[in-house]
Chains A and B, each alone.
Chain A
Amino acid sequence: MDKQYIIDIQNLHKTFKSGKITAINHLSLKIEKGQTIGLIGADGAGKTTLLRLINGLLLPDEGYISINGLNPWNDKKFFINKISYMPQKFALYEDLTIKENLDFYAKLKNIDKNFNNLLDFAGLTLFQNRLVGNLSGGMKQKLGLICALMGNPDLLLLDEPSVGVDPVSRRELLKMVKKTIHNNATVIWATAYMDEAHGFDRVIVIDKGKIIYQGKPYDLAPDTKKFEEKIIALMGGFSLQASEVAKNFIAKPHHHEYVVEADNLSKKYGEFYAVKNNSFKIKAGKIFGLLGPNGAGKSTSFKMMCGLIKPTSGTARIMGIDIIKNPSAARANIGYMAQKFSLYPNLSVQQNLNFFAGAYGLSKNKADDAIKNIIDIFAFKPFLNDNANDLPLGFKQRLSLACAIMHNPSVLFLDEPTSGVDVITRREFWHHITSLAKKGVSVLITTHFMDEAEFCDDISLFYQGKTIAAGKPQELKKSTKCQTLEDAFIKIILDQKRRD
């Protein structure tokens, strides 16, 4: 075997559920030492399975993997501290402190406890004795990354470390890896962010368990935008047809100019303001994006607007109805889609629809009409008897959206609906959202994808419970003199940090 390759995979095949689902389909791959490689693929394409196979967490049905000439299943003990893996789910003990977690993993891997340097780098030194359960999402990811970086590994396998992380933390994660690994280390970084992938030495695109592209990202396209288009085309493409969802959707007519008005909303926990004097207005038929780093108070604002948490002071009006005085009447105008897939996974599509119709209190006749309508609008007919869990991810999202708009609300609240979702599914989802907005539905959305924020009519940048910038995407870019919204976002946050 050639010395310069760290990974040599030949004819790898892996199925689940006794052969019914093929995760990796006769895949062969060689990876050179010292490169950073982006792993891209739609959800369910086999990225996680591939990383787990390389790491010896799964056994293949067929084929062969060699890492530096060693086999990950039998020879693992020889290179355990030379190969590091960061799973997608936080693999940290939430009831232990940062330091206790690090001590534990260091001993487990038989590595010296020389992680002070890494802690400094991540800016976590001050929080060493804090329980991991009390950290923000970005901090947890950094800690997970430290665990993986410990011991200066030769091979680093990262499974979507930047999911659900704000742009600032995301850049910090990338910097941590680049600055702390040694020259000859190889990194495989699974990601749904095309700008991230575009910056790597190489990208591997996999689809249905097969590699469909491998090469330098720059060769595919010189800039991020075109790169994304190319990747989408590789993954089967996405054609911009009229959104079926919006085609048959008929919005409830109303006369309100502003459908959502937040009026000095504040929420105080003890002495700490989670949200402070938050005011904004959403015009009918507009998309309003609420952006901000993890822990900025976006979710708290959301929950106050839905009447799920009582504000300490201030109020919000939905279609002119005060959310404090009359929460249920105000809520009846809202369709809410939570970040987590909150449908019943082992009920069929039909059963889920029936349940949500009942939960919204629609009468039998109305419910039957609404469900029939939804089935037409979302083209659910072929899937009616499938379990929600078995649907492709794009359809799951459609179903969540369907359940959220079942009662024909005038306002849609979407809390990070695209977190952990691949680029094609995101495209499709946004297509539905913008089409619905054109039909007159107003949308309030949070997201960490700055390219998505570009689709919003208005955005508000949230930091430490306060709005620190607001306006149209174009205006924000202009005022900060930045090319992209992401750069603008980071600049505004960093300016604010400096001022504090």
Chain B
Amino acid sequence: MKITLAFIKKEFLQIIRDPSSLLIAFILPTVLLFIYTYGINLDFTHIRLGINNNDNEKQSNELIDKFKQNNYINMLLYNNRQLMFNDLTQGKIQAALTIPIDFSRQLSAGKEVSLQLIIDGANYNQISYAQNYIQQITSEWLNQTYLHDFQQAAVEIRPRYLFNQNNDGRRAVVPSSLAVTMTLIGILLTALVVSREWERGTMEALLAANIQPIQFVIGKYIPYFIVGMLSLSFSLAVIIFIFHIPFHGSFFVLFIISSLFFYASLGIGLIISNCLHDQMLASMAALIIGFLPALMMSGVVFPILSMPTFFRWLTQLLPPTHYVSFIKNEFMVGSITQTTILSGILLFILGFLFSIIVYKKTARRLDD
């Protein structure tokens, strides 16, 4: 016990002396959260749309005005259809709309008309956005102009976005990005701490002094757990008080589950650090093992349900997967007993599993 305490004290002294851990714990999350909140927007805006109007009557010009007024669309008019297609091929515009010659006439006659929309499919994500925007604008215009001519639509869908009334992307993105950021911090903090002992030769002295693996493991977990929780509190304050993202859950529950989450994340970092005795390698591994899957496979960016079965199972091994679903709820809905308990249990199981591996991987001798 005395030895473990001495070890923890030593780690804290090192943390205070070493600006890089403080940088990781407090500056890095601020920067990342700022980028996620203001820099990244998952909605596509400013889609460049080319229109070739062959009709040039009142109706088609009205429609074009609608496009012109819309914020999400930057419109360009083409007289020459071939020219428009050339620009589409060269990526100068992302979608090309052709209005046929007899558009106004047919429409006035009450007949069905088709508009041709060609979308650059190279950027996979923008296809549906471009299509949706353009369809929406067209049908809105149609409703306003010809509502009196047609019968009221039998069914109208009026969406209401539950838990996010304004359909504000930030409210959903920021809490999950907090989860990604905390994963990175948890892993980065610990990924270097064992490899550093190896690289500087102090591991040899520790082993020679017969420090027990359990003392070593606890001595490495506790200080960085505390730093991690401080980092989380700090980030929460930034999100709530500076970015004004509303928080509907309970701080008590949040801290309980976050503790379990850090328990698991620090474990991954310590496994990396125990396996790689080189600081450079360990930090690379921390980024690749810790950050990238957290970003891509935890459901923050790409939905887990649309992944193949194998990967869906794989995501369950990543602590951020469970934390993301929990923290989104906590922010936007409030504590939901069922998901909270489930996330808690899964995170604990992962954390426990990882800490056993850390314990097993901790060197007893120099050639372990």
Contacts and interface: CB of A to CB of B under 8 A. Distances in A.
B214 interface: no
Contacts of B7: 104, 108
B3 A91 contact: no
Contacts of A107: 2-3, 5-6
B13 A108 contact: no
A332 interface: no
B204 A16 contact: no
Interface string B333-354: 0000000000000000000000
Contacts of A87: 201, 204-205, 208
Contacts of B365: 56-59
A137 to B, nearest CB: 14
Interface of A: 16, 52, 55-59, 76-77, 80, 85, 87, 89-96, 100, 103-105, 107-110, 131, 147
B21 to A, nearest CB: 11
Contacts of A85: 205, 208
A90 B201 contact: yes
26 contacts: A56-B210, A56-B365, A58-B366, A80-B209, A80-B210, A87-B204, A89-B204, A90-B200, A90-B201, A91-B200, A91-B201, A93-B202, A94-B200, A95-B14, A95-B17, A96-B14, A100-B10, A103-B6, A104-B6, A104-B10, A105-B209, A107-B3, A107-B6, A108-B6, A108-B209, A110-B2
A170 to B, nearest CB: 21
A52 B2 CA distance: 26
Contacts, number: 76
A147 B201 CA distance: 14
Contacts of B206: 108
B18 interface: yes
A91 B17 contact: no
A131 B18 CA distance: 12
A16 B210 CA distance: 23
Given A77-B210, A89-B201, A108 B3 contact: yes
Of the four ranges (under 10, 10 to 19, 20 to 34, 35 or more), the interface on chain B belongs to 20 to 34
B149 interface: no
Given A89-B201, A93-B10, A95-B17, 13 more contacts: A55-B208, A58-B366, A77-B210, A80-B210, A87-B204, A89-B204, A90-B201, A100-B10, A104-B6, A107-B5, A107-B6, A108-B6, A108-B209
Which of A80, A91, A105 has most B Cβ within 10 Å? A91
Contacts of B209: 80, 105, 108-109
Contacts of A109: 209-210
A103 B6 CA distance: 8
A96 B207 CA distance: 19
Contacts of A92: 202, 205
A108 B211 contact: yes
Q: Which of B2, B3, B202, B205 lies at the interface centre, i.e. has the most chain A CB atoms within 10 A of its CB?
A: B205
B168 interface: no
Contacts of B367: 16, 58-59
Interface string B176-216: 00000000000000000000000011101111111100000
B358 to A, nearest CB: 20
A147 B210 CA distance: 14
A237 B210 CA distance: 40
